[in-house]
Amino acid sequence: MSKRLLLFVALLVARIASAAPPPPAPNYDVPLHGNGAFIPTPKGRIYYEKEGQGPLLILVAGGPGGGHTSFHPWFNRLAKTHTVVYFDNLGRGRSDRLQDPKQYTVERDADDIESLRIALKADKIAVLGHSYGGMPALAYALKYPAHLDRLILSDTLHSADGFQQNIDNCNREAQTRFPEVWEKLMALRKTGVKSSAAEYGEIYSTPTDDLYWYDTTNAARMFRANDPPGTGFNNAVYLAMLGDDPEWKVGGTMKAYDPRPRMKTLAGLPTLICVGRSDRVATPGIAWELNRLIPASRLVIFEKSGHRPWVEESDRYFQTVSAFLSGK
């Protein structure tokens, strides 16, 4: 779910095209946070960084289409007890692009996690998925349960239906709180403009930027100066997975994706679900449903946070996650 990092990069809209060879990974001028390297896979190279010592904790970024820099530098607090692994799913950040956009799926993203586990020679791993990243984290739990030690779902979603609820909630907020902006959006839609268009995204960002925060002044604390917002975001992935009208209706490869009937099989997996009370992007209602669907999962609500509790309630968030990872 980040929910839609598209809002940060609406002016960079790129149409999905079927090119012959995959384009090279972009060369962003962002210093390595840890020790950057690539691992080869049959579909292309996956870029990752790691820091710390101890059991592997793999962080899965949101979007879909976002890169790992959204976790910088906050999650180095977990490196005291774990080897924290930041990575870019194929198609994102510094990782290679796929030739066929239809291959960008939730379950294929989960395979990237398994590729990392194998390359880093770990039998068991812990996985933390944030926003959309919680969906491939869940898919990994369902597909590779023997190799997952603990699962953390942070302000995330569960299915196409959950993503649609997210879209509807954001539109409801825009309509009721910013009627003057909503009127402009509806005028665009009457002319046939879809929400993937740059002009739509530019207007839509006005009411939706603050939906991520309990206190909007915290937005300035999110990224380091040398980690620009949106670094590594690939809008082609976003549109491939959500369709050509992504702020209105879930389409693309995510359409009809629903792992909820299988979640009861996670009964023996220690699972922590975190959500900010003021998150209107991946709402507490979705977190509540996840808590009911995953047997023996634990739900923690951060009362003074939006979509990123690790920024707004840093101490409590990392104390909670650290305690969970240590088995407390």
Q: Would you state the pLDDT for residue 207?
A: 75
The residue ranking higher by pLDDT, 72 or 56, is 56
pLDDT beyond 90 at 35:
no
Q: Which of 84-93, 169-178, 215-224, 271-280 has the lowest mean pLDDT?
A: 215-224
Instruction: Return the closest-CA partner of residue 144 out of 115, 103, 102.
Output: 115
pLDDT beyond 50 at 30:
no
All residues at 6 or more sequence positions from 313 whose CB lies less than 8 Å from its CB, including other chains: 302, 304, 305
Question: What is the average pLDDT value for the chain, to the nearest integer?
Answer: 87
- Look up the domain containing 56 and give its range: 5-325
DSSP code per residue over 193-217:
--TTSHHHHHHHHHHHGGGG-SSGG
Residue 298 belongs to what H/E stretch?
strand 298-302
Q: Which spans in the chain are helix H? A: 106-119, 134-143, 160-177, 179-190, 198-208, 235-242, 284-293, 309-312, 314-325
Q: pLDDT category, 255, cuts 50, 70, 90?
A: very high
Q: Which of 108-122, 225-239, 265-279, 296-310 has the lowest mean pLDDT?
A: 225-239
Q: Would you state the pLDDT for residue 129?
A: 98
All residues at 6 or more sequence positions from 30 whose CB lies less than 8 Å from its CB, including other chains: 69, 226, 227, 228, 231
Q: Would you state the pLDDT for residue 94?
A: 87
The residue ranking higher by pLDDT, 72 or 200, is 200
Q: Would you state the pLDDT for residue 9?
A: 33
Pairwise CA distance, residues 136 & 129, whole Å: 8
- CATH number of 93's domain: 3.40.50.1820
Q: pLDDT category, 24, cuts 50, 70, 90?
A: very low
Q: Would you state the pLDDT for residue 221?
A: 82
Domain count, the chain: 1
- As a whole number of angstroms, the longest Cα–Cα distance in the chain is 56
Q: Would you state the pLDDT for residue 73?
A: 82
pLDDT beyond 80 at 27:
no
Q: Would you state the pLDDT for residue 18?
A: 32
Q: State the distance between the two ends of the chain, measured CA to CA, in whole angstroms.
A: 27
* 161-197 pLDDT per residue, tens: 999 999 999 999 999 999 999 999 999 999 999 999 9
The torsion angle over the Cα atoms of residues 52, 309, 106 and 34, rounded to 10 degrees, is -20
